[in-house]
Structure 1
Amino acid sequence: MNTFNFKAKVATAEKNDQDGFFMVGLADDMYDFENYILLQKSFAYSEQDKEMGMDGPYFELNGQENAAYNVCTQVILRNEEIIFVLDTTVTEDLERVVVDISDVEEEIGFREYLLEIMGDRLLNELQ
């Protein structure tokens, strides 16, 4: 099992009514980031989106070359970390991304939008 780990300092959240999507992100720095995760999901999907397999959560890790739709099969939210479980048929050998969030101050809406994006694939283990 291959796991990628990083410590986040920033958590962002956005609900874009104009363009119709939810987005959350985690990064190791606000401006000069090296490691980040971006999750995004549209409010609705066109027939073309569905035909192309773009009708689910978009997941990006450290660049668009490491991005795909429906690759994140589960998100486990804990007090000190968030674990992103990935579909290894898409990622080959990367099974998990573990983000230390112990020092992160979340933007308002982060957890709500994360739930909107992941739905029943979000496992909340907060105490």
Structure 2
Amino acid sequence: MMSTFTANFIYAQADDENDVLMIGFADDQYDPQEYILLQLTMHPDEQDLALGFDKIHMTYNDESQSQYGGIEKVLLKPGSIEIYLDEEAIEALDCEAAVVRVNFDPDVLNLEERRELFEQMFGELLEIDAEAGLL
């Protein structure tokens, strides 16, 4: 099963001041009903490592539906991103399915411009579809 929504707003930025990488997808910029916010500490310290805060923090539609880790794979395609979740994440995020797919206009998300951010965020979890033109 797959949960799907369309993002009309996409945010991706490395915030050096706060030492966090953020990527967000939302159905609306100002009043989102459906969204995914992904955050990763860029330079985790020993305490972050010990507490598991070195993993991607994902929020799905509500702050109460969030957790560190739980992402098994991320598939980036020209007009969508699919996030594959483990069982613990499905429960913590109160998600209906093991895969969350976010559709977007590929002209809005210039993949080539943001490739480095996606690679930094997802690392070895990231798979880029050959049709995305980034391989």
TM-score range, shorter chain: 0.7 to 0.9
Structure 2 residue aligned with 1:21: 20
**TM-aligned CA deviation for residue 114 of structure 1:** 1.6
The 2-side partners of 1:94 and 1:87 are apart by 10
**TM-aligned CA deviation for residue 104 of structure 1:** 6.0
AA of the residue aligned to 2:122: M
Residues 1:118 and 2:89 are matched in the alignment? no
Change beyond 3 A, Cα 1:104–1:30 = farther
How many equivalent pairs are there?
A: 126
Structure 2 residue aligned with 1:32: 31
**TM-aligned CA deviation for residue 107 of structure 1:** 6.8
- 1:94 aligned to which of 58, 81, 97: 97
Q: Bigger relative contact order, structure 1 or 2, given CA contacts below 8 A and separation 6+?
A: 1
Deviates more, 1:12-21 or 1:92-101: 92-101
TM-score by length of 2: 0.83
Structure 2 residue aligned with 1:105: 108
The 2-side partners of 1:53 and 1:68 are apart by 10
Structure 2 residue aligned with 1:67: 66
The 2-side partners of 1:90 and 1:17 are apart by 28
**TM-aligned CA deviation for residue 29 of structure 1:** 0.7
Structure number with higher strand proportion = 1
Structure 2 unaligned residues grouped into runs of 5+: none
RMSD: 1.9
